[in-house]
Amino acid sequence: MRITFSLVFGLVVLLWAGGASAQEAALQKGKQVYDYWCATCHGEGPGKPGTTALAAKYKESGLPGLLEARTNLTPQSVRFFIRNGASIMPFFRKTEVSDADVDAIAAYLTRPKPAAPPVAPQAVRP
Amino acid sequence: MAVLPPGVSQRDFSAAIAQFQSAVGKDWVFTSDPDVALYRDAYSPAWGQAEERLASAAVAPDSTEQVQQIVRTANIYKIPLFPISTGKNLGYGGSAPNLSGSVVVDLKRMNRILEVDDVRHYALVEPGVAYFDLYRHIQEKKLNVWIDTPDPGWGSVMGNALDHGVGYTTSQFRNHFDAHCGMEVVLANGEVMRTGLGAVPGSKTWQDYKYGFGPTVDGLFAQGNYGIVTKMGIWLMPAPEAYTSGTVSVAKHDDLIRLVEMVNYLENLGISNGMPGFGFALGAGGGRGGPGVQPDAQLAALLGREGGPDIAELERYAAANNRAFWTCRLQFYGPKTVVAAQWEYAKSRLAAIPGSRATDGPSYDFPLTPEQLARVQQVAFGVPNMSIFSIGARTERNPTPSSGHVWFSPIIPRTGEGILESQKVLWQAGRDAGIPFNRFAMPATYYSRAFIYIIGIPITRNVETDRKNRDGFRQLIKVAAEHGWVEYRTAPLYQDNVMDTYSFNNHALRRFCETMKEAVDPNGIMAPGRSGIWSKRHPRARA
Ligand SMILES: Cc1cc2nc3c(=O)[nH]c(=O)nc-3n(C[C@H](O)[C@H](O)[C@H](O)COP(=O)(O)OP(=O)(O)OC[C@H]3O[C@@H](n4cnc5c(N)ncnc54)[C@H](O)[C@@H]3O)c2cc1C
């Protein structure tokens, strides 16, 4: 949630400052779809089994468990895992994540990584 | 094209697909192999084997009218359909049909939250609404209600309830089908029907009063194959003020009998309204009663004893080490002073068990702070999440993750005797079937009147292991049924086996369901084989 807020905030600032290019809009869309479909398992913090699993998988190689922190993902690999799944992660149907959504997630995850933006607190109920 | 519906020519199939396309638009009919493969059960116990159930195509409508058009076309060309809401029924069948060749009707696009009333405490939703969606909607609108969510937050309010799914808050809401109120259904002939008060034009109480007048038919559409549900009401919980919890532990094996008896009393009287969690206190995980302790060498040897642990030895170990044998965590939701008093009363009553001990657990005032929320079991507070998917996943301690699991989930009586007997019998049955599990597995208490074991049998995608596990699963179903314990829900692969166990009076229940099936669905187009209910057009394939 904190990541969601801060990155969206960052992107909004970007758009405001620099004018909305198609590429930025695509990234924003990618971030949105990623947050909805992926971050619930692959986000940061406790209770994120995707992040835990990848951290265990890449322990030796030192790659981060957090997908958003990876710098070696390709659009092809992102597409492969969304449509094929991996161990307990199932594949996703096109009514869930459309081909355009897959492209947006891939663009988001493979974007040049910006410096970490400030974290804004967010109220959570209950 | 990998598979066609049984008895349907390629020409008729193509004509049906064309009509589906004109009903929902070309983009929302899936026929290519890679697209249709996305409707496989990702946790199929028969992945890539002849037994695996596969769709022929999928069609994704966006409205009740489109669902009607699909059903009418299916009747013309005798195309079997299989509806899914969000299709996340992993462990119980995923999004794959019972009958290979069925066209999956994927309702994910129908994802509108039609109403949330935080005065009368209900919601009216379409099939594609996930728990995450309903939760976010309530948060954004700052409505004064909680949802009751199962472990996976991505499933649907509707699909979960229709497969008799369950959650974690108070007893009135954990049983999701029980908490539904009113449906809109597209029947097998394409007509739209509303149940309960929805059948009254201008009714103001569709989501408040379940029965309407005359027979209550809602149950036919849960685990059934008589129609496609397109709207459903669900009762919500008014946001409570506070929560408290505590754990009671008992010292002896047979103390479980009184412990369950007393907890039943507290629960059925509404004194403890949260989900109780019974645990085996000498186990590493502690069962569902809370965290256990990693066994030392002596305990590990006792638990691993050839032929099974000796109860007297375990009791001696527990006594010598000042350890309990069983625990039960109790949870209370409501006004702060009331939950505190309820826990005090529960403690005083449970103190009647000689040697029992009560420990206060966490208490919270709502809303939780983000820090509190990060620490708790979120589903117990109506907050959907995905943390349960750590089961079987890769971790540092589990370098070989599974490819999912199917749930073996028999219903047993809500007594200590019921637990003790079923633990022994099922443990032995698991060993005999080649799928060993914990000798002291504890049943879950989602349903407030019966216990249910939820035992995960891993999927390996190794042909031989999965075949052995399928045989083993069927054997477990049989042995359990011989003791009067039957599944509450199961994957399509095992639905005939489970329906076979509901055999009173020469399978009168199944025969009644199949008689109705012929009457309301003469072309047998609606989810043939769902729950072991077949039809003349699609008779059960007997091995
Ligand atoms: C790790 C793990 C933990 C789980 N924990 C829980 C849990 O705590 N509680 C729980 O209940 N389950 C649990 N499950 C099982 C399952 O994931 C959930 O029940 C999930 O909500 C079901 O998927 P769904 O909501 O997408 O339903 P769907 O897959 O959409 O539907 C389920 C079935 O209902 C029928 N159906 C669906 N929609 C319609 C319709 N509109 N009309 C007619 N029939 C329809 C179909 O037969 C369908 O196959 C768990 C699974 C896993 C893997």
pLDDT tens, residue by residue, B273-326 = 999 999 999 987 656 655 567 789 999 999 999 999 999 999 999 999 999 999
Identify each DSSP E strand in B257-376 by its residue range: 277-280, 326-334, 357-360, 364-365
Rounded Cα–Cα distance for residues B28 and B45 (Å): 28
Question: What average pLDDT does the structure give for chain B?
Answer: 96
- Which residues on adjacent β-strands are paired with residue B137? none
Q: Among B345, B329, B334, which Cα is nearest to B377's?
A: B329
Structure token digits, residue B57: 């195509």
Asked if B372 and B119 touch (Cβ cutoff 8 Å), the reply is no
The residue contributing the CA closest to ligand 1 atom 29 is B87
What CATH number was assigned to the domain covering residues B242-365? 3.40.462.10
DSSP assignment, residue B190? Answer: S
Asked if B394 and A86 touch (Cβ cutoff 8 Å), the reply is no
Say if A79 falls within a structural domain. yes
Spell out the per-residue pLDDT of chain B, length 543, in tens.
Answer: 569 999 999 999 999 999 999 999 999 999 999 999 999 999 999 999 999 999 999 999 999 999 999 999 999 999 999 999 999 999 999 999 999 999 999 999 999 999 999 999 999 999 999 999 999 999 999 999 999 999 999 999 999 999 999 999 999 999 999 999 999 999 999 999 999 999 999 999 999 999 999 999 999 999 999 999 999 999 999 999 999 999 999 999 999 999 999 999 999 999 999 999 999 999 876 566 555 677 899 999 999 999 999 999 999 999 999 999 999 999 999 999 999 999 999 999 999 999 999 999 999 999 999 999 999 999 999 999 999 998 888 888 888 888 999 999 999 999 999 999 999 999 999 999 999 889 999 999 999 999 999 999 999 999 999 999 999 999 999 999 999 999 999 999 999 999 999 999 999 999 999 999 999 999 999 999 999 999 999 999 864
Angle at B292 between CA B286 and CA B293, to 5 degrees: 140
Cβ distance B389 to A41 less than 8 Å, yes or no, reads yes
Rounded Cα–Cα distance for residues B71 and B92 (Å): 25
Structure token digits, residue B93: 């069948």
How many domains does chain A divide into? Answer: 1
Give the chain A residue whose CA is nearest to the CA of B375: A46
The residue contributing the CA closest to ligand 1 atom 47 is B223
Other beta carbons within 10 angstroms of residue B2's beta carbon come to 11
Structure token digits, residue B510: 């199944």
Residues of B labelled as active-site residues: 92, 488-489
Sort B424 into a burial class: Cβ within 10 Å, 0-12 / 13-18 / 19+: middle
pTM: 0.94
Rounded Cα–Cα distance for residues B155 and B94 (Å): 11
Sorted by where each begins, the domain ranges of chain B are 10-106, 113-238, 242-365, 405-491
* Cα B287 to Cα A111, B260, B332, distances in angstroms: 44, 15, 20
Rounded Cα–Cα distance for residues B403 and B388 (Å): 15
Rounded Cα–Cα distance for residues B31 and B2 (Å): 10
Q: Which amino acid is at B143?
A: L
Q: Which amino acid is at A84?
A: N
Of A49, A121, A122, the CB nearest to B389: A49
Q: A113 — contact with chain B (CB < 8 Å)?
A: no
Residue scoring higher pLDDT (A69 or A18): A69
- DSSP character string of A8-20: HHHHHHHHHHH--
Q: Among B184, B164, B423, B401, which Cα is nearest to B280's?
A: B423
Give the chain A residue whose CA is nearest to the CA of B403: A87
Q: B400 — contact with chain A (CB < 8 Å)?
A: no
Domain B10-106 has CATH 3.30.43.10: yes
Rounded Cα–Cα distance for residues B287 and B291 (Å): 8
Distance from CA of B72 to the nearest CA of A (A): 22
ipTM of the complex: 0.95
Asked if B242 and B250 touch (Cβ cutoff 8 Å), the reply is no
Say if A46 falls within a structural domain. yes
Say if A122 falls within a structural domain. no
Which of B88, B129, B131, B406 to mutate to test ligand 1, by most ligand atoms within 8 A of the CB atom? B88
- Asked whether residue A8 carries a pLDDT value surpassing 60, the answer given is no
Rounded Cα–Cα distance for residues B132 and B51 (Å): 34
- Please give the torsion angle defined by the CA atoms of residues B383, B290, B473 and B168, in that order, rounded to the nearest 10 degrees: -30
Residue ranges of B 463-522 with Cβ closer than 8 A to chain A? none
The residue contributing the CA closest to ligand 1 atom 31 is B159
Contacts of B364 (CB under 8 A, 6+ apart): B242, B243, B244, B372, B376
Of B35, B366, B394, the CB nearest to A56: B394
Rounded Cα–Cα distance for residues B276 and B336 (Å): 19
Structure token digits, residue B279: 């645990």
A124: pLDDT confidence band, cut at 50, 70 and 90? very low
Q: Which amino acid is at B149?
A: T
Domain B113-238 has CATH 3.40.50.300: no
- B183: phi then psi, degrees, rounded to nearest 5: -135, 155
Rounded Cα–Cα distance for residues B370 and B269 (Å): 33
The sign of the torsion formed by the CA atoms of B387, B392, B396, B400 equals negative
Contacts of B447 (CB under 8 A, 6+ apart): B166, B174, B175, B411, B488
Residues of A in contact with B369 (CB under 8 A): 124
Strand B57-59 with B103-106, pairing: parallel
User: How high is the pLDDT of residue A46?
Assistant: 87
Q: A122 — contact with chain B (CB < 8 Å)?
A: yes
Cβ distance A41 to B386 less than 8 Å, yes or no, reads yes
Residues with CB under 6 A from ligand 1: B 83-93, 95, 107, 127, 150-152, 155-156, 158-160, 162-163, 165-166, 221, 228-229, 388-389, 391, 530
Residue A83 sits in a domain whose CATH number is: 1.10.760.10
SS3 B252: coil
Q: A89 — contact with chain B (CB < 8 Å)?
A: yes
- Which residues on adjacent β-strands are paired with residue B246? B330, B360
DSSP assignment, residue B478? Answer: H
SS3 track for B22-89: HHHCHHHEECCHHHHHCCCCCCCCCCCCCCCCCCCEEECCCCHHHHHHHHHHHHHHCCCEEEECCCCE
Cβ distance B374 to A45 less than 8 Å, yes or no, reads yes
Among B365, B394, B395, B405, the residue to mutate for chain A (most A Cβ within 10 A): B394
Distance from CA of B454 to the nearest CA of A (A): 17
